[in-house]
């Protein structure tokens, strides 16, 4: 039981309450005894004086021994609760109302007696008990005036030996009953408290069970309960809700780590494949030139060298794209925002790719609205986006096809779209076209080249600008990519890139 929180709490409360009750009992007993002594002394304050006066204990210059003996006999038979002693001026006991062997003291301290007779003292005022060397009791005292001699004192102990004997018997009986009652009450309270704490801590046990289940699931199965704090919830409810949220967050992070690791493996595999292809071609042609250079004609040698150069160029381009993407994802390339004309930039990029389009037999068209408002962005990065989109469109459009570049003025943005009449992208592939090295399954165009990073880089750049890129495609009809940038009159801060989105329209 003590290994559980409820058991420990019940035991702690029980011990605390038991100590408090014991302390209260001791204080109450002592306080009640002091109260009884005070009441007894005040009620009998003038008892000794009354006895001296009514019994004529003073007879000239000596004590009336006969009257004193008669007083001893009468009071001990009528009221055995009191004990009477005759003291001289030094406190020496001259005579008393008891057997000689029962009196242990031969003298009592007179300082309390004189203080009592002076009046004004705080009660209870304790004096020596002649029958006990270690005990003091309340008393009443009065002087016995003697002619020509120092005065004597009548010393009356209130609550004598008989009183103590009876009081001790009653106290022992009462103590036994009190102890028995205390044991029964303590047992009942302990059981009740344990049941109460067991009920209170049941939520903690359930929470502990959920934490253990979450641990055993390798942190992949989040807690399904306690996701919200109910009205008026206490600390346990808040802890429960916090754990539920935390477990969901941890499970999501574990899943993200798994997906990241999977993407890393795929990236390594794709990079290895895309690097191996141009490297193999480059190595093969160079090795052929080294081994059979003397046997080849000048025309063959030139052809081999041109092929090797193209493989080298392709390899260099892939490495450059990987480096560029790494910089974008690590934010090592900060945005240099400025105002520029998106229409002029599109026109420059179209002229740059005009020859490439002509060589591939693709017609290149531009439709740019006049009086376009300037946009805010990094001009070099936006130029890279346009280049990648245009290169992708040309690569996936067969000879005789057409690529159209549109730049249109919107209410607060400039809209850009790149449309081709190529083979199109299957609907099931559209959500993945911006992933690294992803290639659609119908990518059968002969002149389609590249490592699959162009669209990824374009999306990442637009993410940094707080813009989203959309893609829609129809098989054998073509594909359109579009995005918008805010004008300088409606400039907005770019959000966190992780919050960007890609819209896919069928």
The CATH architecture one would assign to domain 235-327 is Orthogonal Bundle (1.10)
> Contact, 293 vs 301, CB < 8 A?
yes
Spatial neighbors of 391 by CB under 8 A, at least 6 apart, are 353, 356, 450, 454
Burial class (CB in 10 A: 0-12, 13-18, 19+), 184: exposed
Structure tokens at 18: 């038991």
Q: How far apart are CA 193 and CA 232, in angstroms?
A: 24
pLDDT mean over 345-353: 93
> Using CA atoms, how far apart are residues 47 and 121, in angstroms rounded to an integer?
17
Architecture of domain 336-486: 2-Layer Sandwich (3.30)
Q: How far is CA 245 from the centre of its chain?
A: 12
The dihedral over CA atoms of 293, 299, 305, 308, expressed in degrees to the nearest 10, equals -110
Q: How high is the pLDDT of residue 493?
A: 46
Under the banding of pLDDT at 50, 70 and 90, the label for residue 383 is: very high
Instruction: Determine the average pLDDT of the residues in 491-500.
Output: 44
Residue 418 in this model has a pLDDT that exceeds 90: yes
pTM: 0.46
Percentage of the chain with pLDDT > 70? 80
Q: Where are the domains of the chain?
A: 5-169, 235-327, 336-486
List Cβ neighbours of 229 (8 Å cut-off, separation of 6 or more). 237, 238, 241
Q: What is the CATH number of domain 5-169?
A: 3.30.450.20
Cα distances from 199 to residues 193, 223, 423, in angstroms, run: 10, 22, 69
Tokens 């008989």 map to which residue?
Answer: 162
User: What is the C-alpha separation between 459 and 477, in angstroms, rounded?
Assistant: 23
441 confidence band (pLDDT: 50, 70, 90): low
Q: Which of 166, 161, 165, 160 is nearest to 140 (CA)?
A: 160
Pairing mode of beta strands 136-144, 126-128: antiparallel
pLDDT at 499 over 60: no
160: left (phi over 0), alpha (psi -120 to 50) or beta: beta
């Amino acid at each position: 039981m003590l290994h559980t929180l409820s058991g420990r709490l019940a035991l702690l409360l029980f011990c605390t309450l038991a100590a408090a009750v014991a302390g209260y009992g001791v204080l109450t007993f002592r306080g009640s005894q002091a109260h009884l002594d005070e009441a007894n002394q005040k009620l009998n304050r003038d008892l000794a004086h009354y006895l001296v006066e009514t019994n004529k204990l003073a007879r000239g210059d000596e004590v009336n021994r006969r009257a004193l003996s008669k007083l001893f006999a009468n009071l001990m038979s009528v009221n055995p609760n009191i004990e009477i002693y005759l003291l001289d001026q030094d406190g020496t006991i001259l005579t008393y109302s008891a057997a000689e062997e029962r009196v242990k003291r031969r003298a009592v301290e007179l300082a309390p007696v004189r203080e009592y007779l002076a009046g004004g003292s705080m009660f209870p005022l304790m004096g020596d008990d002649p029958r006990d060397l270690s005990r003091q009791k309340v008393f009443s005292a009065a002087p016995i005036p003697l002619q020509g001699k120092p005065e004597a004192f009548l010393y009356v102990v209130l609550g004598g030996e008989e009183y103590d004997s009876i009081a001790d018997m009653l106290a022992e009986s009462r103590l036994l009953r009190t102890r028995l009652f205390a044991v029964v009450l303590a047992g009942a309270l302990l059981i009740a408290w344990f049941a109460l704490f067991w009920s209170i801590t049941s939520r903690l046990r359930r929470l502990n069970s959920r934490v253990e289940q979450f641990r055993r699931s390798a942190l992949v199965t989040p807690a399904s309960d306690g996701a919200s704090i109910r009205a008026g919830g206490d600390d346990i409810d808040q802890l429960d809700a916090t754990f539920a949220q935390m477990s969901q967050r941890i499970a999501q992070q574990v899943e993200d780590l798994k997906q990241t690791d999977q993407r890393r493996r795929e990236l390594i595999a794709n990079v290895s494949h895309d690097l191996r292809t141009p490297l193999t071609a480059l190595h093969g042609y160079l090795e052929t030139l080294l081994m059979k250079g003397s046997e080849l004609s000048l025309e063959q040698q030139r052809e081999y060298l041109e092929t090797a150069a193209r493989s080298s160029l392709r390899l260099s381009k892939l490495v450059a794209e990987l480096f560029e993407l790494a910089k974008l994802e690590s934010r090592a390339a900060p945005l240099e925002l400025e105002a520029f004309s998106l229409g002029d930039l599109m026109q420059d990029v179209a002229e740059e790719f005009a020859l490439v389009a002509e060589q591939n037999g693709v017609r290149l068209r531009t439709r740019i609205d006049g009086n376009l408002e300037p946009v805010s962005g990094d001009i070099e990065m936006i130029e890279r986006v346009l280049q990648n989109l245009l290169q992708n469109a040309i690569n996936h459009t067969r000879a005789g096809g057409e690529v159209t570049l549109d730049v249109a003025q919107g209410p607060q943005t400039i809209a850009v779209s790149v449309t081709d009449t190529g083979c199109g992208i299957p609907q099931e592939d559209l959500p993945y076209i911006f992933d690294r090295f992803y290639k659609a399954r119908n990518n059968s165009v002969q002149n389609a080249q590249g490592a699959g990073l162009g669209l990824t880089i374009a999306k990442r750049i637009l993410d940094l600008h707080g813009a989203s890129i959309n893609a829609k495609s129809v098989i054998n009809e073509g594909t359109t990519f579009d995005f918008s940038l805010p004008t300088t009159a409606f400039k907005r801060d770019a959000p966190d890139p992780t919050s960007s989105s890609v819209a896919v329209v069928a």
